[in-house]
Chain A
């Protein structure tokens, strides 16, 4: 599989994503500078975490106008697999590739810790290596992860099983206490109606190998390999 990791000025999880796909999963990875306008030969696009453009104006608001985003939009419309992690998720929201918007965390704090998320939809290309309802421990690191959308969109997302991950307790209960940032309906990750664009706030690339003591994040990437019928 040819993985394209986008690099915006201020991306800082780009090399983590490269490491996981290249060294842990043995795939070929191309780093794609945001000035590029082509995604030729790429099977999977990753929008990594970080602080693109210093989070100026709003998170992701400026990155979404980077030249490469035109190609990403065309790639996504063609059914290409796209995953946005943390700041990447924020960029996908600003670009309108996923519905909704991010607000500042309810506590106003930057939150950097392990959280638990429940796999609400295991029938996606990003989660098919997970069991339905499986609880994953994955770290978050963000100040703007308080997901918001209007009630009509939320109802449509619930009806279409577009809410893929929800913050939960270690034993899988979705409670207000398990919600780190005030996110609507405990939303931690969503997918588009077509099922090829996923955004998530937790960082699976930070927990995808044994030496880090947690491999839960690897399931997301293994799902993609499985969906694309690639051997790891």
Chain B
């Protein structure tokens, strides 16, 4: 299975990179762009066919290493 994992700063935590990009979009004329959040995207291939097991493993990976849950949140999808 393959996990596609997104990690971003939690809502409410200032994302200065997002802010800088938002200002750049604004100066490009995209006046309706708001609340830009920058994050990380990771792909992990798992030698696992059982979706429930894979899900539990990816959740652990996120909690232990891939995200710092003090300041970040994560979401992921699993595909065959």
Contacts and interface: CB of A to CB of B under 8 A. Distances in A.
Contacts, number: 32
Interface stretch (A5-13, A98-106, A159-167, A190-198): A98-106
Interface in B1-56: 9, 13-14, 16-17, 20, 40
Contact of A101 (B14, B40, B65, B70): B70
A103 B66 CA distance: 15
B16 A94 contact: no
A103 B68 CA distance: 11
A150 interface: yes
A229 to B, nearest CB: 37
B17 A108 contact: yes
Contact of A65 (B13, B65, B68): B65
Contacts of B70: 100-101, 148-150
A65 B64 CA distance: 10
11 contacts: A57-B40, A57-B65, A100-B70, A103-B9, A104-B16, A107-B16, A108-B16, A108-B20, A148-B70, A150-B70, A182-B14
Interface of B: 9, 13-14, 16-17, 20, 40, 65-66, 68, 70-71
